Structure 1
Amino acid sequence: MGLDVAVPAGELTGALVDFASVSGSEGPLADAVEAALVGLPGLTVDRDGDAVVARTSLGRPTRVVLAGHLDTVPIADNVPSRREGDRLYGCGTSDMKSGVAVMLHLAATVAAESLVHDLTWVFYDNEEVDASRNGLRRLAERHRDWLEGDLAVLMEPTGGEIEAGCQGTLRVIATLPGRRAHSARSWLGDNAIHRAGDLLTRLAAYQPRTVEIDGCAYREGLSAVRISGGVAGNVIPDRCEVTINFRFAPDRDVAGALAHVQEVLAGYELELTDSSGGALPGLSAPAAAAFVTATGRQPRAKYGWTDVARFAALGIPALNYGPGDPNLAHTRDEYVELPLVEEAERVLRAYLTTRS
């Protein structure tokens, strides 16, 4: 099944949704995207696994990268797509096949002579699963030159607003030891779960920072997200584990964020299990400033981690901008407002073709 990328972006979104592409099974959709791009004039198309990259070579003074992932979370009886008025329902409509549709439609319909930037289109796999499988990470490791640019726009769902940078995230496990005993003689033991009380009290009382960077306010959060312990209904537990997630502003690196958590939870045994640094807004970069001007919107902080951090790590300023609603991502009733899809296309077309 092929893709007609010249049809309106809203219609194309429906076609992409009907191409089921749960993480790890993006192959057929990647094939269709590659075939559509190869058929367009003026593009060099490369592929690595199920990631497809297309680039213009017009000799423009700046290069803009537009990126979007092809995969979705598992389908929840929400494929094929269906339209109700101005809403298109289906798995991936918001996160982020509407953004991918805008990218593909622009690649097919923007005349090369009108472009003021060279463009790189990046469609990648496995964003919704473990970071080790992420297609953009793989491209950065194997084909750094494919991703070069003055600005990257990640078409993650933002409701048509600009969300700059992103928070960093880390998880630690706090282990609380105790002494096992029969619950009928509880005084002979030391209940590890009870010992979590002070730690939870510290977390509940924690006052997070709010940090303003480039006019964007990033609020931090330190939260217990999982507790496990106990072996039976008649045994005093001798071990309790509390998993703690710290979402931190991008002015901290991972080492600094970990040091802060260790300070807040001093006295507890902590094991770092996962971490990803954030991304600064980068709004002072000329290409980013021009993008903000083109949208006419006030950028806001991105709450959560996105792949803009991967571009930032490569020294490329990056923004999140897409037509989907992040609050609808991964839901059974996921949908996208079609007027937002049309607006995203207009905004990007104006940015890519308007000379300052």
Structure 2
Amino acid sequence: MTPPLDLTADPIELTAALVDVPSVSETEQELADAVEAALRAQAGHLEIIRSGNAVLARTNLGRSSRVVLAGHLDTVPINKNLPLTRSGDGDELVLHGCGTVDMKGGDAVMLNLAATVAEPRFDLTFVLYDCEEIAAERNGLTRIQRDLPEWLLGDLAVVCEPTDAAIEAGCQGTLRIDVRVPGRRAHTARGWMGVNAIHGAGEVLRRLSAYEPRQPEIDGCRYHEGLQAVKITGGVAGNVVPDECVVSINHRFAPDRSSEQALAHLRELFDGFEVTVTDRAEGALPGLNAPVTQELIAASGGGSPVAKLGWTDVSRFAALGMPAVNFGPGDPKLAHTQEENVPAWQITHCSDVLRKFVS
């Protein structure tokens, strides 16, 4: 049985407690139960509801603005990196283990604020949700947006994903396509009678190799687009000229383009070939000019936000018409790795910045 969580404890120790409750996607119930119980016992100033294995809490103080803080409870599968371990001490303390980066450090910061800030200057909504690490249709935010849409609305969303304790603005969109190269089957002994589709894929690869990605600057943040072949399939048998080859391609596009515009760009690039969309997700504009976002930047010390080069759930909040940023402890390059670890000072820093911002 999970020991009761102390949400008023140092967020570093709360991170350790959260990490030691395994919560691989679709097995979050134990952690969600513990989070809900702790909020109900220690945060009587909040309205609290449960949605599946997501826990939502909010103030209702009639403030003129509302800030939504969001983080997922699930992790990728454990990879010989639980229970949590520690290295160093004092300012050099580092927490190691599955979820330390992605993203139980950010969850701990949120939960500590939820329990200890009873009179924020904004109304606050805390969304701790399930199944972020798997298919989008399983993501808890999909269910919450369908069943409880009012719980996701505000004037700013802060997604506490790992950012190395810097503010990362918006996010890039992602588009996956299949480019099909046709051929004609023939016996390899009479290969000249067929058309080899795998050979024909060379033109697709040539266009990819010659491609120069855009690097647009938006609200002072430079985004770097990407276009990569991620899979090639083709072939029938060892003695048959293949009649089809498919090159699967991933495109990361800056948020000044919609997915439709990005797709039009790819169709133009691969003109002459059949292009099929297999997955897409919109990006999110930085929204740094919004007054409430400027207040967060000021609370962080005024450093310049940087572009989010991946895709995160800030896109979902941006689609609802609100500015959204990523801000949380941990190096995102360590997410999903066996070596996942977070410096304790980053947890403290993110906690201090958000406390200053909302208090």
Q: TM-score, normalised by structure 2?
A: 0.96
Measured after TM superposition, the shift of residue 97 of structure 1 is 0.5
- How far is 1:246 from its partner? 1.1
CA distance in 1, matches of 2:183, 2:152: 51
Residue equivalent to 2:295: 290
The code of the aligned residue for 1:346 comes to D
Question: How many residues get paired?
Answer: 351
Distance 2:236 2:87 in 1: 50
The answer to whether structure 1 residue 276 and structure 2 residue 281 are counterparts is yes
Offset, 1:232? 2.8
Structure 2 residue corresponding to 1:17, chosen from 16, 19, 22:
19
Deviations 1:74-130 (A, max 9, x none): 1101111111111111101000000001111121222x23x2111110000010000
- Measure, in 1, the Cα distance between the counterparts of 2:138 and 2:131: 6
After superposition, give the CA deviation of every residue in 1:194-221 in whole Å (9 maximum; x if it has no partner). 1000111001101111111110111211
1:218-257 equivalences under 5 Å are 218-257=223-262
Deviation at 1:342, TM superposition (A): 0.8
The equivalent position to 2:198 in structure 1, one of 185, 193, 198, is 193
2:67 aligned to which of 64, 68, 80: 64
Report the Cα distance in structure 2 between the residues aligned to 1:141 and 1:283, rounded to whole angstroms: 28
CA distance in 1, matches of 2:281, 2:34: 32
Structure-2 residue corresponding to 1:332: 338
Helix, strand or coil: the match of 2:204?
A: helix
Q: 1:214 aligns with which of 206, 211, 219?
A: 219
CA distance in 2, matches of 1:63, 1:348: 14
**Structure 1 letter corresponding to 2:55:** V
Question: After alignment, is 74-83 or 226-235 more displaced?
Answer: 226-235
Structure 1 residue 322: deviation in Å? 0.3
Alpha-carbon distance in 1 for matches of 2:146, 2:281: 16
For 1:63, the aligned partner's letter is R
Give the 5 Å matches for 1:115-130: 115-130=120-135
Tell whether 2:94 aligns with 1:91. Answer: no
Cα deviation 1:168-204 (Å, max 9, x = unaligned): 1111101111122333433232211110001110011
1:3 partner SS = coil
- Range with greater deviation from structure 2 (235-244 or 91-100): 235-244
Q: Which residue of 1 aligns with 2:32?
A: 30
* 2:107 paired residue number: 100
Task: Indicate the SS of the match to 1:127.
Answer: coil
The alignment status of 1:352 with 2:331, answered yes or no, reads no
Q: What residue number does 2:328 align with?
A: 322
Give the match's secondary structure for 2:55.
strand
- Kindly provide the amino acid, as one letter, of the partner of residue 330 in structure 1: H
Paired residue secondary structure (1:330): coil
Q: For structure 1, which segment, 9-18 or 304-313, has the greater mean C-alpha deviation from structure 2 after superposition?
A: 9-18
What are the equivalent positions in structure 2 for 1:101-180 lying under 5 Å apart? 101-110=108-117, 112-113=118-119, 115-180=120-185
Secondary structure in structure 2 of the residue aligned to 1:102:
helix
Residue 58 (structure 1) shift: 1.5
Tell me the SS of whatever aligns to 2:157: strand
What is the CA–CA distance in structure 2 between the aligned matches of 1:235 and 1:97, rounded to whole Å? 52
Deviation at 1:138, TM superposition (A): 1.5
Q: Work out the CA distance in 2 between the residues paired with 1:240 and 1:132.
A: 29
Render the CA deviation track for 1:310-351: whole Å, top value 9, x for unaligned: 000111110000011101000011111111111111111111
CA–CA distance in 2 between the matches of 1:28 and 1:64?
27
Distance 1:314 1:145 in 2: 11
Corresponding position of 1:82: 85
Look up the equivalent residue of 2:251 and give its one-letter code.
F
Cα deviation code 1:256-282 (max 9, x no counterpart): 111010011101001011101100000
Structure 1 spans left out of the alignment, 5+ residues:
none
Q: How far apart are residue 254 of structure 1 and its match?
A: 1.2
Shift of 1:233: 3.0
Q: Which stretch shows the higher mean deviation, 225-234 or 322-331? A: 225-234
Counterpart mapping for 1:40-55 below 5 A: 40-55=43-58
1:235 deviation in Å? 2.7
* 1:342 maps to amino acid: T
Q: What amino acid does structure 2 have at the position aligned with 1:44?
A: E
Cα distance in 1 for residues equivalent to 2:28 and 2:187? 52
User: Secondary structure of 1:128's partner?
Assistant: coil
